[in-house]
Structures are given as C-alpha cells and as structure tokens.
Chains A and B, each alone.
Chain A
Amino acid sequence: MPLWLFVFLAALAVLAALGVVLQRNPVHCLMALVVVLLDLAVMFIGLGAVTVGFLQAIVYVGAIMVLFLFVIWLLNLQTEERRVAGSIGLRFFGAVGAAALVAELCVFVVKAPSTAGLSHVPPTFGSIGAIAEALFTDYLIAFEATSLLLLVAVIGAVALARRATASRTRSPVPVSPAVHEQIGARQ
C-alpha cells in the first residue's frame, strides 16, 4: 500500500470515527460509521486480506449497519438532546481515559521492537481457499461454536424483541377443595 493512500485512508478513518462519536443525529453517526468500515475494508484488502476485506464490506456495511438503521427508524430516534449537567465528570474522565489509552498505545508503537517490514507472502495469502483451510481444520470447533452462538443470538433476539403475551405465565395448580374437606378441620 502506498504511503499516500495510507495517509489518506487513515485521515478519513479518524475523521469519520470522530464523526461517529460527536454527531448528534444517530443516522449521521451511522453514516460516519459506514465510512469508517468501508475505509477499513479497503485497508484490509491493501494488507492482503482480500476475503476478509470483502466480508467486512458485505457483512458489516450490508447487514449490520442496515440493522442499526432499521432500529433507529423503528424507534424514530432523530436527535439526541443536549447533555445535562452532572455527567460532565463522565465526559471528562472519558476524554482523559481515551487520551491516556492513546498515549499508552503509542508508547507501544514507538517502543515495541518494530518488525523489519512486511514479510513476503504467497499470492494466495488471504484468499478464500486459504481462509477456508484454516477455518475448517484448526478452527473447526471455534467455527461450530460460533455457529451455535449465532443461532442462540437469533433466538435471543427474537425472544427479546417480540411482544410479551399474557398467556405465557402459568397459574399454579390449584388444590382441589375436596382434599381439604376430606381431611382438614371441619370448622
């Protein structure tokens, strides 16, 4: 990946990310997030992860983000009202924490023993075949577990989002009055 492309993509990613965090309208936030995700997809492809990059675009942007959009429209959320006083502390600490994190991570980037460069990889690196081989051999159990996770998530989402109906609560089994009459005190 040429340097200029990286600089451009990086700047765009940071700007869009800030847009996600700072805009008041959720739909605008979402659009900014879409930009970040597509930006990153391009970077993935540039780093040789062609399959993952395309999947990023398809799954994230095509599926997940659309889901977000639906929910925002469903709930009819347009703008977020201004923050009231009292959570200033939260914002302050949030900013400080984020800054501290960035600082720390930068220390790593600077101080960590830098790899000499990118290693040479075969042309098939990152292809569907290569990924599939890893996925269905070494990561088979994780793959199965993930499929189970998705299933559970689907069921959970359905269960959570559907309207609660009255018929689900069962009344306790009543004791027949005859039993009490038979042996209980005849008072």
Chain B
Amino acid sequence: METYWLTGLTFLPLLGALLVLTQSDESSTWRAAAAFSLIPLAISIYLLIRFDPHEPGYQFVEQYAWIPQFGISYHLGLDGISLFLVVLTTLLMSLSIIYSGGGDIGYRPREFCFFMLVLETGLLGALLAVDLFMFYVFWEVMLIPMYFLIGIWGHGNKIYAAFKFILFTMLGSILMLVAILYLVHLAHLQSGAISFDLPNLYSVRLTPGEAEWLFAGFAIAFAVKVPMWPIHTWLPDAHTEAPTAGSVILAGVMLKMGTYGFVRFAIPLFPEIAMQATPLFMALAVIGIIYGALVAMVQPDLKRLVAYSSVSHLGFVMLGIFALNPQGVEGAIYQMLNHGLSTGALFLLVGMIYLRRHTREISEFGGLWHRIPIFAAIFMFVMLSSIGLPGLNGFIGEFLIMLGAYLKIPLAVVFAVLGIILGALYMLYAYERVMFGPITKAVNETLADLTWREIGVMVPLIALMLFMGFYPRPLLARMEPSVAAMLDRVQTAQVRLEKPRPAAVAALDPARRTAER
C-alpha cells in the first residue's frame, strides 16, 4: 500500500517556507505561513484518526532507496511513540505562527515564517525518520532555523544564547554521528550489507565495551537536548532570549527530541547498557527535578523561571523513561505532551505580557489580576496544569512516571516528590508576585487584556489540558503497543544480561519483577 501522507506531512512546511518567501506584504505572509502550518496539522489529525491503535510497528510507512551505495534509505514511519508528538508539533507550530502574526514579531516577518516552517520540517522529519541517516539529517536541520530564530528575533543577549544553544547541541550531535557511523560499520562487518535502517541495526552484536561507548554517544546527544542536569545551562539562556514562538517550539517540541531519542534510539539499540545505566540516569533525573525547581524559585525573570521549570519537568520525563516499564515510559511520553502543552502555553502567556510591558521581571508586575483578569485566569489554569494538579493533564503523566519509577527504584520517587512540592512553591510564588497584591507600578494600570487572537491561541491548549486530564485512555491506548514492543527488546536483553551473571539477578530484582508482570 503506497501512501504519501508522511512525505506530505514532512515536506509541505518546507514548500510553504519557499512560498512564504515570495509573499510581498506582511499580512499575506502571515496568512500563507498560517495556512501552511495548518495543512500539516490537518494531516496529522487525519493520521491520528486513521492510526490503528493495536499495531505496535510503524504505520503509513514509506521506504525507498535513497543512496543505495551507502545503504541509506528514505524511510518514514509513524508509531505510537511518535504519533502524538507529531500532532503536538503541528499544533504548537500552528499556534505559535498564528500568535506571532499578532504583533509579536516586529521585523522581517517573511524570514521569520520561513525559518519557522523549515524548523517544522526538521522536527517532523526527525520524528518520522526510521533511517538513522535521515534522522541525523533532520536532527541537524532543526538546529539551524532555531539558531536564526534566537539570533535574529531574540531579546537581550540573543547572540550569546544562540551560540550557546548551537554549540551545546552540536557537541552532542557530533558524538551521535560518530556513534551512528560506527554502528553501521559494525553492521556492515557482521552482515555484509550496509544499512542505516533502524530495524536492521537492532541485531548488531556488540561487545560490552562497544555498546557502552556507542550508547554514550547517543545518550550525550540526547541528554544535551533534554536537557539533563548538568548540561542544561544552554536552556535558560536560549529560552529566555528566544522570541515567544521560538521558546514555545523550543520547549514544546525540541526538548522532546532528546527524550524521544532515548525512547526511539538509545534504549532500543543498546538495551543492556541502558539497563545498567538506569541508576545513573535516574539519579541525574532526580537531581534535575529538584535542582530545576529550586533554581526556578529564585529567578527574577518570569521567562527564565519557566525555562528552569522545564529542567524540572524533563527530569520527570527522564525518570519515567528509565523506569523501563510500561507505566514509566507511557507516563514519560504523556508527560512530554503535557510539558509541550503547558510550558508552551506558559511561554505564550509570558510573551503576551512581555509584548505589553517589554519586561519580564517579576518585580515589575504585581496585582495584574485586577487589570487583566482573563489573562490571569488563563495563566492560573495553565500553571495548575504545569504543577500537575489532578484532573488536569500534568497529573496523569507525573503519576504514571512516579508509579513506573517507584516500581523500579522507590527511593528515586521519594526524592522526586520533592519536585512536586517545589513545583507548586515556585509557580505559586511567582504567580502571587505577578497577579496578586495591589498594583504597585503605574504602568500596569493601563494594561490591556488579551485580544481575541490571543484567547483563540490559548483555547485549544486549555481544552487539551482538560481532556487529557480526564480522559487519557485514548492516548495511552495508542502508545501501549509500541511501548510494549520497545520494552520487549529491553526485556530480552535483560534475559541475556542475567544469564551469564546469576549474581546480578538479585540486584535487579524489582526490575525483573516488573518485567514479569
């Protein structure tokens, strides 16, 4: 069955990017960009409906030889792990372009839309690629538009932030490239055929030493992107200085590329090592959770605070992924979506207030609820989603993650719950200083409440937060088969791991029990 949905999904934004460049005036630029971001959204929703929830493998697959001499194929596929991230990407992209059209981008709108749409192609391609070479290409394609988005349309110390962003990520991706090439080289040696196709690389036999180094190569690339503590410091700068739409995409989708990379590549390719590295990664995740929350608490800048909260939230995601059981991994994927929605919405809101006041300093605000109640109410809602209030989406993800992690290493969760307490603390503390109290600054007396466009951008996010909080089942059910298939690989690896070393069985007892269930 030949379908071209995924190709269309991936490359329509690129086409749109080229067409946007031909637009001559500002409003038609925005209209064209919005249209070309809405088409992929429509396609992704169509795919969501057509998606077979019982199929663990890739769907809507497209596979052609691309550079056959080097075993590089054009191979796209969609499964339960990437499905919702794709929808999230298209949704956030549409919303941020529509939002940016409302005055957030003051200059060079044509180029802005161009880079945004190119970025969308990069993101979707990386999510859909099954071939490692393709994945790497799209992975790098993501970086460049984001570099320009931060560097051209950013605020303050934008050049520094853009450089820091690209250097951190480049460092990681170079290591990953080396790892990919070495892995393919090994596959070539062992099977005689050269292939960059992910399923073909599962069967490569590795010595423990090789596996460790290769896993490290992948893991560092992804960990930078996540970002895990202590390689997170590019994130606050990049998030803070980026334009609103850039922050939304950066936080909403790009960070997920790191965690997605772990689920899709690093862990299934090297399950043994992933299993052995679990305590390390869980420890780093927990440190990230607490550290991010604590540092967020003392940030004077609202956007920086949200940025550090991402460090904390992504810590939860990593915690879930390395639980390596269905609850943890599904919770992690769910939390990726939650974080995309809630942090994306928070960045939008901060952008809206920045547009009005040209400052993000918390101390510049106070008593805003009185002036702009709609803004304040929406902010409250989004904040509650972000801190994982039961009944909203954040809770489902956090709970499943904690459940998964608890089944693996209970101690990790004992520390992780501190993150939940601190999460409430830093968010409410900031909210209190911004929204509550009397109006202390005269300029705040004249603030205008949200426009219809801004409300319109927030409504889909809010609706999704409610829906995902009360009815997560349709999402979880579609993730389940793919996650189970991935965990199957981990479990078989575990069996391999345990056979030669009976002593290790006792050490891994809780994990093995999980596997048996």
The answer on direct contact between A and B (beta carbons under 8 Å) is: yes
- Give the interface of A toward B (CB within 8 A): 172-176, 179-180, 182-187
Known: A173-B26, A176-B26. A183 touches B108 (CB 8 A): no
Minimal Cβ-Cβ distance residue in B for A178: B103
- Among residues 325 to 362 in chain B, which have CB atoms less than 8 Å away from a CB atom of chain A? 355-358
Identify which of A172, A173, A182, A187 contacts B103 (C-beta below 8 A). A182
B145 within 8 A of A: no
Residues from chain B with Cβ under 8 Å of A172 in the complex = 107-108
- Are A173 and B108 within 8 A (Cβ)? yes
Among B34-42, B185-193, B444-452, the stretch in contact with A: B444-452
Nearest CB of B to A101, in Å: 40
Residues from chain B with Cβ under 8 Å of A186 in the complex = 446, 448
- Are A182 and B451 within 8 A (Cβ)? yes
- Are A173 and B448 within 8 A (Cβ)? no
Identify which of A173, A174, A183, A185 contacts B102 (C-beta below 8 A). A183
A-contact 0/1 string along B447-460, CB 8 Å cutoff? 11001001000000
Residues from chain B with Cβ under 8 Å of A183 in the complex = 102-103, 355-356, 448, 451, 454
Known: A173-B26, A175-B103, A180-B103. A185 touches B357 (CB 8 A): yes
Can you list 28 A-B pairs with a CB-CB distance of less than 8 A? A172-B107, A172-B108, A173-B25, A173-B107, A173-B109, A174-B107, A175-B26, A175-B106, A175-B107, A176-B26, A179-B102, A180-B103, A182-B103, A182-B451, A183-B103, A183-B355, A183-B451, A184-B355, A185-B356, A185-B357, A185-B358, A185-B443, A185-B446, A185-B447, A185-B448, A186-B446, A186-B448, A187-B446
Residues from chain A with Cβ under 8 Å of B107 in the complex = 172-175
Residues from chain B with Cβ under 8 Å of A175 in the complex = 26, 103, 106-107
- In angstroms, Cα B42 to Cα A16, docked, is 75
A-contact 0/1 string along B416-451, CB 8 Å cutoff? 000000000000000000000000000100111001
Residue picked from A179, A182, A185, A186, most chain B C-beta under 10 Å: A185
B313 within 8 A of A: no
- In angstroms, Cα B26 to Cα A180, docked, is 14
Residues from chain B with Cβ under 8 Å of A180 in the complex = 103
B110 within 8 A of A: yes
Minimal Cβ-Cβ distance residue in B for A182: B451
Minimal Cβ-Cβ distance residue in A for B26: A173
Residues from chain B with Cβ under 8 Å of A173 in the complex = 25-26, 107-110
- In angstroms, Cα B243 to Cα A150, docked, is 44
Nearest CB of B to A163, in Å: 27
Residue picked from A173, A174, A182, A186, most chain B C-beta under 10 Å: A173
- In angstroms, Cα B357 to Cα A180, docked, is 12
- In angstroms, Cα B106 to Cα A89, docked, is 55
Give 13 new A-B contacts, CB below 8 A, not counting A185-B447, A187-B443.
A172-B108, A173-B110, A174-B107, A175-B26, A175-B106, A175-B107, A179-B102, A183-B103, A183-B355, A183-B356, A183-B451, A185-B356, A187-B446
Nearest CB of B to A37, in Å: 45
- Among residues 71 to 120 in chain B, which have CB atoms less than 8 Å away from a CB atom of chain A? 102-103, 106-110
Residues from chain A with Cβ under 8 Å of B451 in the complex = 182-183
Nearest CB of A to B412, in Å: 45
Minimal Cβ-Cβ distance residue in A for B357: A185
Residues from chain A with Cβ under 8 Å of B103 in the complex = 175, 179-180, 182-184
**Nearest 5 A/B pairs, CB to CB:** A179-B103, A172-B107, A186-B446, A175-B106, A185-B356
Residues from chain B with Cβ under 8 Å of A176 in the complex = 26
Nearest CB of A to B248, in Å: 18
